[in-house]
Structure 1
């Protein structure tokens, strides 16, 4: 947890500890990044406003690290409540966000949902092939023509949810439920941000997508047949 509010951090550390989680706390971006690289965590709780760096910049730095640290799930804690900050955070690679103040139980539920996603995929060992696109569900890797594409944990699970239902139109609500395992607000638009980032990673021309197609008023569909 990278958070300069020591009182809040102490509450979170205690509460999560009572629920079976070990939390290492850092009060600055520099200390948090050092801890991340010394002891690779299962998840990062990242405050948006830190004394020595912007949380969005820290998120970008984490995503720029080498594997496997670059794909560690990131949940951003936002005090501003500005939707733009949340959108930018998601675009930079955050997997989820939680506005302050928050209920500890909601934080726990969101962490469990994020941490549950990799575990659900551990038993999968097959490689799903869609034209030039390959999805290795065991290694949780995506490649095109053998060239690896970088995805966050959330983006990988979103792609997998689409690919497993190739040819079917999926609403935003359906995708949110499939990826998170829990219902969020029915008009949560963060899914659009993740779709945009996913297209940047896997489409030859993100402005004219041929793998993840938008169906106006309905949602998204993953192309079942892909020649390119």
Structure 2
């Protein structure tokens, strides 16, 4: 992934702030997603898979620190706090909840861009330590989010890719249904069991020569799934 074309979720209840960030960040080639409240932000993270989150603390339905804490229960998406609160206690609370950085309003766009690039580089460098997974003919390139079976590139939805990545990073290990649901959707999503089954079925159709007799994504009856490691 490059440092242009980043999917950014802006979470702020002030329309003017969202409009300003959308205009400024879009000019740099980034895709901007928006949420005006905490619960809306939690849904957006699960459904839209942003690369980074810009989060205000003073949201109308829940505090941004709690939003950060809930996101960190199942996602490692980078979070930069953008807040008028400049007390040390507020900064410590947000960072201890799992935020990656903290910027006090008002801020300059130059500083925000530098902070964003620094956070993203740190995350991507950690991911590049094992940038490609391979088992048999299945290959997953974590850096470019691309998947192949043999010479054939496979097009996956964001959720299908995240499921495959989760399985690949734990190849050979059985992942329980609750663990996978927590990592991909969070624990409160209604119908998550059905979503998991549907997405695994779709993955098998795209990856397996015979989806009825899978060679890669194996079912552990009544427990979960395991990606075969060859």
TM-score under structure 1 length normalisation: 0.51
Match of 1:209 among 209, 214, 220: 214
1:199 maps to: 204
2:169 maps to: 164
Q: Which has the higher strand share?
A: 2
Specify whether residues 152 and 116 from structure 1 end up closer, same or farther in structure 2 by C-alpha distance, changes over 3 A only. Answer: closer
Q: Paired residues, what number?
A: 141
Equivalent-residue separation in structure 2 for 1:204 and 1:43 (angstroms): 37
| Structure 1 stretches lacking a partner, 5+ long | 1-12, 25-38, 46-102
Q: Does 1:184 pair with 2:188?
A: yes
Stretch moving more, 206-215 or 114-123:
114-123
| Offset, 1:16 | 7.8
Alignment of 1:86-97 (within 5 A): none
Match of 1:221 among 197, 201, 226: 226
Equivalent-residue separation in structure 2 for 1:44 and 1:200 (angstroms): 33
Q: Does 1:144 pair with 2:149?
A: yes
Specify whether residues 127 and 190 from structure 1 end up closer, same or farther in structure 2 by C-alpha distance, changes over 3 A only. Answer: same
Report if the CA contact (8 A) 1:17-1:23 is conserved. Answer: no
Equivalent-residue separation in structure 2 for 1:19 and 1:206 (angstroms): 48
2:138 maps to: 133
Specify whether residues 155 and 43 from structure 1 end up closer, same or farther in structure 2 by C-alpha distance, changes over 3 A only. Answer: farther
| Offset, 1:122 | 3.7
**Partner SS for 1:128:** strand
Higher alpha-carbon Rg: 2
| Structure 2 stretches lacking a partner, 5+ long | 1-10, 24-28, 53-76, 78-122
Specify whether residues 23 and 160 from structure 1 end up closer, same or farther in structure 2 by C-alpha distance, changes over 3 A only. Answer: same
Deviation by residue 1:152-171 (Cα, 9 ceiling, x = unmatched): 11111110101111111111
| Offset, 1:112 | 2.6
**Partner SS for 1:207:** coil
Match of 1:110 among 37, 40, 43: 43
| Offset, 1:115 | 5.1
| Offset, 1:210 | 1.2
